[in-house]
């Protein structure tokens, strides 16, 4: 084959090819270990725009270290071409499995969804949206476990664009709106539907018809088994706010549904079914077909770096190939990984948080290194004055007051954090405007007063007290809150604060909230007040609802809601309390508890 090649590798077979490039299976000459190499098409090698996108894909993969995501070994660039060297995964695509087997049993469908969702969750945790989750990008290995591949059109959360595979694109992608983890959840629900039924949820004769179906058609829940319908309804919701806000929440709902419907051993049965389906396609496995051992591919080892001797100081980012067995070996001077293949002579330079090692022939390899010391991020109150909007019928709406904004960090990260800090207010304003269309008249002003509840080196927790001025009844002054990861810009809404975000899993949290209300009851006690409807076993009412504000404080979780909006007596008004961490440490995500950096009191 003509064209530029990564030095030190022998190509074995083409794994895939398209207009923007091809992926080949290759053997590292120095070690004999396999790797997958994704080449930028020769016709695009001179296009700086495509090279920038290629580097961006490598940059996204560099941020991900997870056994359910294909691992990056290095980005190789030369004047004549560019290539991403990554782990070679031995398995068959879910697309091939479905074509061979047809619909999967529910346990198998749930299992394959879980494995690839864990890969998505790893991406979401660092602020990445995949945007192209589909059966062709899920690899089912011989052991029945699945792995997520191809981050070619992935973006940081908040970026817009209509990129994606149309049959799996979420409504917000069709509308060219910002992508979020909920965008990937929609695609995953489409794939899950296809796994169970053997067909896609929406089809049409052309792109315009398909867009209309995704935007407005009813969700075809009647085509899936009854226990699975809540997953489909939530995952395919037209409004991203009505879906689980990320893969972590979707996994929690999946596990809850699967355990309830198919018993405690549902996953073991699903893995066996998937392993059998994959085994029937074993000759399609790229490593197996060539007689190359695949144990390392299953392990997800990242190979050896061999860069430290050249001054890069990198660890665990080499291209030894799948199965190299662990992270990079510091101090290895020659013969290991991409850098060893390109030659021992090189000059190290640090740019953009990665080590760029120039090697023979004008090639360069970019490998992961420790990030530079982050710039300090400063949170301040800023003026908020939105243009007054005409809602028709003589009504207008405007937001005024203050909002929390950050400065000091990298520009892209600052933008993501500030968007996350504003997002709960945007959701409130949309709901308020929609509600006023039926009952309001005249001018309305939402006055926002922020309070920074907590600021650590990892988290920023903000509370917004909001008052709606204008002619209206009660129930419009519920607060909003935002908990934001300062390293990634991730917004933790109420479901995202918890290990498992299902109504059943969070039922104990309701009792903790009630116990800390004045008088130990939601409305301050008293026989004349309405008791929580449904009794103590009622699933939590504080999950996936925009009517509840939750934020982290140095002492515990602050919770506020208007009782009337959740089915209690309207006269109860807004309920606001703090639940100590010692009472909910088993419910919250451990990483968030660690980021708060306060000792958790022992239970008495």
Active site residue 457: no
Cβ distance 294 to 142 under 8 Å? yes
Residue among 29, 90, 125, 132 flagged as catalytic:
132
d(CA 485, CA 299): 30
Burial (CB count within 10 angstroms: exposed 0-12, middle 13-18, buried 19+), residue 373: exposed
- Torsions phi, psi for 13 (to 5 deg): -165, 160
**Closest to 530 (Cα-Cα) out of 539, 521, 538:** 521
Residue carrying the six token digits 């098409």: 41
d(CA 564, CA 184): 34
Cβ distance 143 to 112 under 8 Å? no
Which ranges in 42-169 belong to alpha helices (H)? 48-62, 94-101, 106-125
Cβ distance 338 to 8 under 8 Å? yes
Task: Determine the number of helices (DSSP H) and then strands (DSSP E) in the chain.
Answer: 16, 23
d(CA 134, CA 113): 11
Cβ distance 209 to 249 under 8 Å? no
In order of 31, 107, 151, 270, the CA distances from 263 in angstroms are 46, 10, 34, 12
d(CA 504, CA 253): 10
**Closest to 336 (Cα-Cα) out of 24, 73, 545, 17:** 73
DSSP code for 69: B
In order of 271, 305, 526, 546, 551, the CA distances from 479 in angstroms are 45, 51, 26, 10, 11
Cβ distance 560 to 479 under 8 Å? yes
Residues designated catalytic: 132
């Amino acid at each position: 084959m003509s064209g530029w090649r990564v030095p030190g590798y022998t190509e074995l077979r083409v794994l895939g090819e398209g207009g923007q490039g091809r992926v080949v299976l290759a053997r590292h000459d120095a070690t004999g270990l396999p790797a997958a190499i994704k080449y930028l098409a020769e016709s695009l090698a001179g296009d700086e725009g495509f090279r920038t996108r290629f580097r961006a894909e490598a940059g996204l993969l560099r941020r991900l270290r997870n056994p359910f995501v294909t691992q990056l070994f290095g980005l190789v660039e030369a004047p004549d071409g560019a290539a991403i060297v990554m782990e070679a995964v031995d398995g068959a695509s879910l697309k091939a499995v479905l074509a061979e087997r047809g619909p999967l049993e529910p346990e198998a469908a749930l299992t394959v969804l879980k494995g690839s969702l864990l890969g998505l969750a790893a991406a979401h945790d660092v602020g990445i949206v995949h945007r192209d989750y589909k059966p062709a990008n899920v690899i089912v290995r011989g052991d029945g476990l699945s792995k997520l591949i191809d981050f070619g059109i992935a973006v940081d959360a908040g970026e817009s664009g209509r990129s994606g595979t149309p049959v799996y694109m979420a409504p917000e992608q069709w509308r060219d709106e910002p992508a979020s983890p909920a965008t990937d959840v929609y695609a995953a629900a489409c794939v899950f539907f296809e796994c169970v039924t053997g067909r896609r949820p929406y089809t049409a004769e052309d792109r315009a018809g398909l867009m209309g179906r995704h935007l407005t058609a009813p969700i075809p829940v009647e085509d899936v088994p009854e226990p699975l319908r809540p997953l489909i309804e939530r995952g395919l919701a037209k409004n991203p706010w009505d879906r689980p806000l990320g893969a972590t929440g979707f996994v929690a709902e999946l596990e809850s549904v699967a355990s309830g419907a198919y018993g405690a051993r549902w996953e073991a049965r699903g893995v066996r079914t998937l392993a059998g389906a994959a085994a029937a396609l074993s000759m399609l496995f790229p490593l197996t077909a060539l007689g190359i051992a695949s144990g390392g591919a299953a392990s997800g080892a990242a190979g050896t770096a061999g860069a430290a001797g050249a001054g890069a100081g990198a660890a665990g980012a080499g291209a030894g190939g799948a199965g190299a067995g662990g992270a990079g070996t510091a101090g290895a001077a020659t013969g290991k990984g991409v850098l060893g293949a390109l030659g021992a002579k090189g000059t190290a330079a640090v740019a953009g948080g990665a080590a760029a090692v120039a090697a023979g022939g004008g090639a360069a390899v970019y490998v992961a290194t420790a990030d530079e010391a982050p710039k300090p991020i400063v949170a301040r109150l800023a003026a908020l004055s939105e243009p007054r909007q005409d809602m028709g019928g003589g009504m207008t709406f405007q937001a005024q007051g203050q909002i929390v904004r950050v400065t000091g960090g990298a520009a892209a990260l600052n933008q993501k954090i500030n968007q996350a800090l504003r997002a709960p207010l945007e959701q409130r304003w949309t709901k308020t405007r929609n509600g006023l269309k039926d009952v309001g008249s005249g001018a309305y002003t939402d006055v926002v007063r922020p309070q920074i509840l907590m600021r650590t080196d990892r988290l920023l927790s903000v509370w917004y007290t909001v008052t709606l001025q204008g002619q209206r009844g009660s129930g419009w002054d519920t607060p909003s809150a935002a908990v934001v990861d300062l390293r990634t810009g991730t917004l933790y809404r109420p479901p995202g604060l918890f290990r498992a975000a299902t109504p059943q899993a969070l039922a104990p949290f309701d009792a903790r909230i009630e116990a800390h209300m004045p008088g130990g009851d939601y409305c301050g006690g008293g026989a004349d007040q309405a008791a929580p409807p449904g009794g103590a076993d009622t699933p939590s009412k504080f999950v996936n609802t925009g009517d509840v504000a939750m934020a982290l404080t140095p002492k515990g979780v602050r919770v506020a809601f208007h009782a009337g909006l959740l089915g209690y007596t309207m006269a109860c008004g807004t309920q606001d309390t703090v639940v100590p961490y010692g009472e909910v440490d088993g419910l919250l995500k451990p990483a968030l508890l660690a980021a708060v950096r306060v000792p958790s009191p022992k239970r008495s």
